[in-house]
Amino acid sequence: MSIIIKTPEEIEGMRLACRLGAEVLDYVTPFVQVGVTTAELNRLCHDYMLNVQGTLPAPLNYAPAGHTPYPASICASINHQICHGIPNERPMKNGDIVNLDITVIKDGFHGDTSRMFLLGEPSIQAKRLVAVTFECMWLGIRAARPGGRLGDIGATIQKHAEKNGYSVVREFCGHGIGRSFHEAPQVLHYGKADTGEELKPGMIFTIEPMINAGKAAISTLSDGWTVVTRDRSLSAQWEHTVLITESGAEALTLSAGSQPPPKGI
């Protein structure tokens, strides 16, 4: 499948969906506390999307080939869980690091974004992993520009992760997004600069590196969804949906509560 170049109208639709996705994270942030369950966060986000925003939670019943329908409205992945963690009734603990991944649908357009949250006082190693993964995402965004290639994004992310002693998850990647949740291209978070498809203004895709403190290998739990590090090392992820503009790349999933890009990147 070829990469869709979005029209100005489609870009406006995506701007709105993406801002709303980010605003779900702003809304839920004060509730992300030790003792709270991810099932409760799921309920809060679900109700906010439907009743306040008038958006739909794209994950709910999402069923790509080979998967059972996803049973919740958000993904919540804690500690060694890499992605697609299913919210549950276990209270979050002091020192946990949790990724909340939100995708809303507004007027048929998808906005996809995730952030990391630190519960209480995580270890220095955990905080460093979260910070380096945030830098990886932003280095990837800064590497994306018209006339450049998809491989530029993966190469810069991989270099930064590995320089810090971490590994990049290979099995999951960023993706084109628009009227579909997942469309072309696949945006690998590793690879070689100056390879892959040329980037053009009007392309919209996510950059969502999953970075492991230990080895890159993954396992999938028997729930059919939750992806964990095989060596049970910590994993972190951040995600923005980005638009290729005439001069670079613009993160669309920004809101009042977004953490600003790291300095010097």
Q: Where do contacts with Co ion occur on this chain (CB under 5 A)? A: 101, 112, 206, 208, 239
Instruction: Report the residue from 42, 79, 103, 226 that binds ligand MF3 according to the rule CB under 6 A.
Output: 103
Among Co ion, ligand MF3, none, the one that 62 touches (CB under a kind-dependent 5 to 8 A) is ligand MF3
Contact residue for ligand MF3 among 11, 75, 104, 169 (CB under 6 A): 75
Residue nearest to ligand MF3 (CB): 59
- Interface pick for ligand MF3 out of 96, 135, 152, 239 (rule CB under 6 A): 239
| Residue 68 or 123 having the CB closest to ligand MF3 | 68
Site residues for ligand MF3, 148-187, by CB under 6 A, read: 175
State which amino acid sits at residue 130: V
Give pairs for 256-261: CB < 8 Å, separation 24+: 256/23, 256/26, 257/22, 257/23, 257/25, 257/26, 257/29, 258/22, 259/115, 259/134, 261/138, 261/141
What is the footprint of ligand MF3 within residues 105-134 (CB under 6 A)? Answer: 112
The interface partner of residue 84, options being ligand MF3, Co ion, none and the CB cut-off 5 to 8 Å by kind, is ligand MF3
The first and second tokens of residue 24, run together, are 């779900």
Residue type, 62: Y
For 34, the token pair is 């030790």
Choice between 15 and 84, CB closer to ligand MF3: 84
- Please tell me the count of residues contacting ligand MF3 according to CB under 6 A: 13
62 binds ligand MF3 (CB under 6 A): yes
For residue 59, the partner it binds in Co ion, ligand MF3, none, with Cβ less than 5 to 8 A by kind, is: ligand MF3
Containing H/E element for 125?
Answer: helix 124-143
Cis peptide bond upstream of 185, omega within 30: yes
- Sequence-distant (6+) residues with CB within 8 A of 154 are 140, 187, 188, 189, 190, 191, 192
Task: Tell me the Ramachandran region of residue 112: left when phi exceeds 0, alpha when psi lies from -120 to 50, beta otherwise.
Answer: beta
In the complex, the smallest distance separating the C-beta of residue 23 from Co ion, rounded to whole angstroms, is 15
Q: Which residues make up the interface to ligand MF3 (CB under 6 A)? A: 59, 62, 70, 75, 84, 101, 103, 112, 175, 206, 208, 225, 239
